[in-house]
Structure 1
Amino acid sequence: MMGVLNHLSALLLLSLLPPSLSEVVNRFDPKCSDFFLKGTTPNLPGILVGGIVLNPDQDPDRYKLICQKYEGKYRFATLYDTTNKIPVFSAYTYTDAPEGRPKISWMIEPQLEALTNQLDMKVDQTVIKQAADADYKVKIENMEIDRGHLFPCLYAPDEDTKKSTFTLTNAVPQVRSFNQGSWRTMECSVRKKLMTDCLDSNGKINAYVVTGAVPSESNKLNNRVNIPSLLWTAYCCYNHNQRQWVAGAHWGENQWEEKGKGKPKKTLPSKTLAELYKMLNPDGGVKVFPDDCQNGKQDDTGRNGEAGAGQKRQGEMSGGSKGSIKKPRETGDEENDCDFDCDEE
């Protein structure tokens, strides 16, 4: 009886809140195929192949495809892992990005909690299949954790799309010094490259980006949410002026970075798509973009740098790991800030 009453109370609360942020789907196409180059979704062995989710028999609802919808428009796409309670990747386009950080609370996806076709709920409600804001408020000894965007609001083309990125289905527990250090610097440098190398025939920026996370074996936040061991990102676009495809990738360990005067600044060097695919699964089968990208111009500068190149991630990519409420930005809350000037990094 109490269960029924709790469910009815939840439905009553939901009926009073703004429209749903996103939509769980069986396939990314056709609703949000525009966020993938030529409508082609990534191939991740054991997880997503040919646009079809390969859920394990013992956990048939583990991986979910989410078309991230906000204010009646699809903004980006996410493959979500309900066991690790983090996204596998988010896919999005980069066309331009005005400055500014929206004042908005972090949100969750109600459809992951079997509240199908219901309206959005507050992020502080009890959830089972995904991370909640309360998870990120739990302190970890000797470690500061951010809600790390996969689709950064820094890359979003307008205010509503910036707001749409503030869903916890688009975030992973990211070590703060990494998020605000080498990862942030990389996001800035990639953004500059997209602005100059990804111009179409009309002189407009048009690039495709996929950013993902590799789960750790057992490292968890609040004993619920997997703290990934590594984050990666890849981009591809057609350079009309050079008449060729341009692509590149970066990745970095999700770990503490030392900062301070006299300390060398850590960087995440550019890698080729082939190097990224091999890192994600040495046995092969990984493909983020169509072959055009891999056959075109590859950004491979700085290939002998740091960031854990060549580390073995076999098994982890196949799951082998043992309408919103607005609020003012809190003073001193710098995580995932869109306002920073990349030129200052």
Structure 2
Amino acid sequence: MLGLLLLQVLASCLWLGHSEVVNSFASCPQFFYAGTTPNDALNPKNPAWICQRFRNSYHYATLYDRDRRIPVYSAYKYEPGDAKKPPEWWMVEPQLIDKNSLPDMERDWILIEQKKFTLDQIKQSQAVLDDYKGLKDLDRGHLSPSGHQLSRESKMATFTLTNIVPQDSSLNNGKWNAYEHKTMSKKTKGCTTTYVITGAVPGNTYVSEERVNRPSHIWSAACCLVDEEPTKAWGAIAENDKNEVEELSLGELEERLTDLYKGEVTLFNNACPRK
């Protein structure tokens, strides 16, 4: 009996080690301060926890909403680097199609040609590039932005449709862009490590023949560590139809999200300052 139990435990561990889309972020806790993930108030009805893997390495973590076909949030370490701008190879997540498929994100045409998936199979589990073609006044908005990543591979890994939401074009190219690049650069001065979680509040409308949800808000939170100690934290939120960004304390952002998600939201470990 004991031997059978040990075999079951071993099989479970081997399965977890193989699959990058599982029921937790156990394979990539390094993208969350002290391994603490946001609480369950953000969880959709049909979630997928994705350790975003590209070329055999993890680059960030994403909670994905399979039904709305958008990420709930992406979590990463803020490490902007001057690596060469990568090609925009828009990728999808094979393990959303089949949990035993490739562990790395891949371009859809490669999955179709080499792995014999059909486009319809891919579309059942997630958004595809066609969903974002021809959208009026909407961009493919990164939650984990390429410019916040250090290496060329990490920058490339942000170009997956499980990290993308339909974002208002004026916001994406305007105040949100300024927050991502100018504000974050200023606020992170002196930080040894900065943990970031950027998310999208589901909206009431859809695009691409009702396939992909258009978020009502885009938000972001950061916790700054000096050496090993959290010293400050902050947040930002924007309505996804206006070119305006409101900067908040972490506590204020969590309160705002608590109202929007209709349940108490905590984003970071309690050691991150709320005021």
TM-score, normalised via structure 2 length:
0.81
Q: Distance in 1 between matches of 2:28 and 2:227?
A: 25
The verdict on how the C-alpha distance between 1:244 and 1:36 changes in structure 2, with shifts beyond 3 A counting, is closer
Q: How does 1:241-252 map to 2 (within 5 A)?
A: 245-252=231-238
1:114 is matched with which residue? 98
1:131 is matched with which residue? 127
The verdict on how the C-alpha distance between 1:122 and 1:192 changes in structure 2, with shifts beyond 3 A counting, is closer
1:275 to 218, 235, 252: 252
2:266 is matched with which residue? 287
Q: Distance in 2 between matches of 1:214 and 1:223?
A: 17
2:186 is matched with which residue? 193
Q: How does 1:67-216 map to 2 (within 5 A)?
A: 67-98=51-82, 100-114=84-98, 116-118=100-102, 122-123=107-108, 125-126=119-120, 127-139=123-135, 143-199=136-192, 206-216=193-203
**Unpaired runs of 5+ in structure 1?**
1-21, 48-54, 57-61, 200-205, 258-265, 299-345
2:239 to 242, 248, 253: 253
1:225 is matched with which residue? 212
> What RMSD over aligned residues (CA atoms) do the two structures have, in Å?
2.2
Task: State percent identity of aligned pairs.
Answer: 38
Paired residues of 1:197 and 1:246 also in contact (CA < 8 A): no
Flag the structure with higher strand content: 2
Bigger radius of gyration, 1 or 2? 1
- Residue 134 of structure 2 aligns to a residue in which SS? coil
Q: Distance in 2 between matches of 1:170 and 1:147?
A: 9
1:24 maps to a residue whose letter is V
Q: How does 1:59-70 map to 2 (within 5 A)?
A: 62-70=46-54
After the TM superposition, list the runs of 4 or more consecutive aligned residues in structure 1 that deviate by more than 4 angstroms: none
Q: How does 1:296-335 map to 2 (within 5 A)?
A: 298=275
Flag the structure with higher helix content: 2
2:1 equivalent to 1:25:
no
Paired residues of 1:216 and 1:228 also in contact (CA < 8 A): yes
2:41 equivalent to 1:45:
yes
The verdict on how the C-alpha distance between 1:113 and 1:284 changes in structure 2, with shifts beyond 3 A counting, is closer
- Residue 27 of structure 1 aligns to a residue in which SS? coil
| Number of residue equivalences | 243
- Residue 67 of structure 1 aligns to a residue in which SS? strand
**Unpaired runs of 5+ in structure 2?**
1-18, 110-118
Q: Distance in 2 between matches of 1:176 and 1:191?
A: 20
Please report how far the alpha carbon of residue 247 of structure 1 lies from its aligned counterpart in structure 2 after TM superposition. Answer: 0.3
For residues 76-100 of structure 1, give each alpha carbon's deviation from its aligned partner in whole angstroms, at most 9, with x where no partner exists: 0000000100000000001332254
Paired residues of 1:277 and 1:284 also in contact (CA < 8 A): no
1:25 maps to a residue whose letter is V
For residues 36-73 of structure 1, give each alpha carbon's deviation from its aligned partner in whole angstroms, at most 9, with x where no partner exists: 000011114262xxxxxxx64xxxxx100000011111
